[in-house]
């Protein structure tokens, strides 16, 4: 038998790390190649880590709740054959040396680059038990503190009290000589201010999903010069048509026919006419995508997911409605796969489902635009004949990356979407 490593895989575009939510195997379990061994929460999606080998699980290096970077070790597995002995000898001077180091040596080791990278589970346990993490020695890779380390402290009954600030004394030189352990420049850009916590306040550890959302939104706002534009659309005919067929449609197909499917179809048809909108900024060039893959935002109580309708230009209104329903259901039940989150070229966001009438969305980086479909509301409108009538109106709000797109092309695109929606009728439009 030979020992092989299983590393955290790349589970999606721009994914740099994942959080082990649940191990599906234990030490001593036999697994086949490609069998799932762990559930991982990563860049807006729950996924499974497959085994890279057929063999027996030897050691689980990562704890449940630990956040592991792509390419880092998660576990060891015993396999038949394996890497040559020379390779194993080389490993012993690196990773094996770290893992075989004694506990006493770890407690004395002051060079612990991973010590301050706490998982959500570790943060939660330390806060619940008033434990100062700076006074805990980690047994994980690079001195990282694991849940076992916290539990060991709790079980011992000797919880270290938080360090007290040193009172002013005559020894000023000694105070000044102490350099800060963590330089300011090492703090991530997404870290907030030092917010005071009062009694009754609730501290919620940042999960891997929330961190991924924050990083992507921050990058989009920092890199893409956002601009906004909006049009008002009269969808009275659309409302009448959809309401007239929705009951028969649901009875026949088994799922509802939403307004959102009509909006996505209208956007897709406009993207075919104005392919510049289906582009991305790539530094020294603009990439105009051939496929029209529509990202849709799906929110849950805790997270935001952005699944993708692939090749939306090849789908009917019925097909779009079905896929929206299936993707939304998977997102809400945690069953979205990594590939279902990748490849989006343009985002359509149904903000109207929350009653919003106007909003400015943040672009889904690296896409060039996002369209917010607001709530359909009845308004008094002055018609072409000068008469006032109550009509079903909706605002379409477009956020654009001004490096890629200009106002003229965006104005023409929105005008086409508006026309596509206002000309929907029973005589001209088929959902099939």
Token digits of residue 158: 């000797």
30 within 8 A of 56, measured Cβ to Cβ:
yes
Tell whether 219 is covered by a domain: no
Q: Which helix (H) or strand (E) holds 376?
A: none
Which pLDDT does position 325 carry in this prediction? 95
Tell whether 198 is covered by a domain: no
Which pLDDT does position 57 carry in this prediction? 94
239 and 358 both lie in a single domain: yes
Tell me the pLDDT of the chain (432 aa) as tens digits. Answer: 789 999 988 776 667 778 888 899 999 999 999 888 998 876 556 678 889 899 999 999 988 888 888 889 999 999 986 544 444 444 444 444 444 434 444 444 444 555 556 665 677 677 777 788 888 887 765 677 877 778 788 877 777 766 554 444 444 444 444 444 434 333 344 555 678 889 999 988 877 667 777 888 888 988 999 999 999 999 999 999 999 999 999 999 999 999 999 999 999 999 999 999 999 999 889 999 999 999 998 877 767 789 999 999 999 999 999 999 999 998 888 788 878 988 999 999 999 998 999 999 999 999 999 999 999 999 999 998 999 999 999 999 999 999 999 999 999 999 999 999 999 999 999 999
The domain of 8 spans: 2-100
386 and 300 both lie in a single domain: yes
Which pLDDT does position 68 carry in this prediction? 85
Phi, psi at residue 430, to the nearest 5°?
A: -120, 140
pTM: 0.62
275 and 380 both lie in a single domain: yes
The 10 Å CB-count burial string (b at 16+, else e) for 408-425 is eebeebbebbbebbeebe
CB atoms near residue 174 (< 10 Å): 10
277 and 412 both lie in a single domain: yes
Instruction: List own/partner pairs for 177-185 with CB under 8 A and 24 or more apart.
Output: 182/116
CB atoms near residue 219 (< 10 Å): 15
241 and 377 both lie in a single domain: yes
- For every residue of 316-364, which 3-state class applies, written as one string? CHHHHHHHHHHHHHHHHCCCCCHHHHCCCCEEEECHHHHCCCCCCCCCC
239 and 95 both lie in a single domain: no
Give CA–CA dist 373/375, Å, rounded: 7
72 and 137 both lie in a single domain: no
The 10 Å CB-count burial string (b at 16+, else e) for 27-48 is eeeebeeeeebbbbbbbbbbbe
Token digits of residue 124: 């939660």
User: Nearest Cα to 399, choosing from 220, 193, 133, 260?
Assistant: 220
Phi, psi at residue 174, to the nearest 5°?
A: -65, -40
What CATH number is associated with residue 261?
A: 3.30.559.10
236 and 345 both lie in a single domain: yes
95 within 8 A of 122, measured Cβ to Cβ:
no
Which pLDDT does position 31 carry in this prediction? 93
Cis peptide before 366 (omega within 30 of 0): yes
DSSP 382-396: E-TTS-EEEEEEEEE
Tell whether 180 is covered by a domain: no
Which pLDDT does position 161 carry in this prediction? 63
Which pLDDT does position 281 carry in this prediction? 92
Token digits of residue 97: 């040396």
Q: Which runs of consecutive H residues, i.e. helices, occur in 254-294?
A: 259-273
What CATH number is associated with residue 42?
A: 2.40.50.100
- Name residues whose C-beta falls within 8 Å of residue 17's C-beta, 6 or more positions apart in sequence: 8, 42, 67, 68, 69, 70, 208
What CATH number is associated with residue 150?
A: 4.10.320.10
Which pLDDT does position 418 carry in this prediction? 98
Which residues are the active-site residues? 402, 406
Helix, coil or strand: residue 286: strand
421 within 8 A of 392, measured Cβ to Cβ:
no
Helix, coil or strand: residue 397: strand
Tell whether 167 is covered by a domain: no
Helix, coil or strand: residue 137: coil
- For every residue of 65-124, which 3-state class applies, written as one string? CCEEECCCEEEEEEECCCCCHHHHHHHHCCHHHHHCCCHHHHHHCCCCCCCCCCCHHHHH
């Amino acid at each position: 038998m030979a020992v092989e490593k299983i590393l955290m895989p790349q589970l999606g575009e721009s994914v740099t790390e994942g959080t082990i939510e649940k191990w599906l195997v234990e030490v001593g379990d036999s697994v086949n190649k490609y069998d799932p061994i762990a559930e991982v929460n990563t860049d807006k999606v729950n996924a499974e880590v497959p085994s890279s080998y057929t063999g027996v699980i030897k050691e689980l290096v990562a704890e449940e709740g630990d956040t592991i970077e792509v390419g880092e070790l998660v576990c060891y597995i015993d396999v038949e054959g394996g890497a040559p002995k020379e390779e194993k000898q080389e490993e012993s001077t690196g990773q094996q040396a770290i893992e075989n180091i004694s506990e006493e040596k770890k407690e004395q080791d002051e060079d612990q680059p991973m010590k301050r990278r706490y998982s959500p589970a570790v943060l939660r346990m330390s806060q619940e038990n008033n434990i100062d993490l700076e006074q805990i020695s980690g047994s994980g890779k690079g001195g990282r503190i694991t849940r076992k380390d916290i539990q060991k402290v709790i079980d011992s009954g000797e919880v270290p009290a938080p360090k007290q600030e040193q009172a002013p004394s005559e020894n000023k030189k000694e105070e000044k000589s102490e350099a800060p352990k963590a330089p300011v420049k090492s703090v991530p850009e997404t870290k907030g201010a030092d917010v005071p916590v009062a009694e009754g306040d609730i501290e919620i550890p940042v999960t891997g999903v929330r961190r991924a959302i924050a990083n992507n939104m921050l990058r989009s706002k920092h890199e893409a010069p956002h601009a906004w534009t909006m049009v008002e659309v009269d969808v009275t005919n659309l409302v009448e048509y959809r309401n007239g067929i929705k009951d028969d449609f649901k009875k026949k197909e088994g799922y509802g026919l939403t307004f959102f499917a009509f909006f996505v179809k209208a956007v897709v048809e406009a993207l075919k006419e104005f392919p510049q909108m289906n582009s991305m900024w790539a530094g020294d060039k603009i990439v105009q995508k051939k496929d029209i893959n529509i990202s849709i935002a799906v929110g849950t109580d805790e997270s935001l997911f952005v699944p993708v309708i692939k090749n939306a230009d090849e789908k009917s209104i019925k097909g779009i409605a079905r896929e929206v329903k299936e993707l939304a259901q998977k997102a809400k039940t945690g069953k979205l796969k990594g590939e279902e989150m990748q490849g989006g070229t343009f985002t359509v966001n149904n903000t109207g489902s929350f009653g919003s009438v106007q909003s400015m969305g943040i672009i889904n980086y690296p896409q060039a635009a996002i369209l917010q479909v607001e709530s359909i509301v009845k308004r008094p409108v002055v018609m072409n004949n000068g008469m006032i009538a109550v009509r079903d109106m909706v605002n379409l709000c477009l956020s654009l990356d001004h490096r890629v797109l200009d106002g003229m092309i965006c104005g023409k695109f929105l005008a086409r979407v508006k026309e596509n929606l206002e000309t929907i009728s029973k005589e001209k439009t088929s959902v099939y």
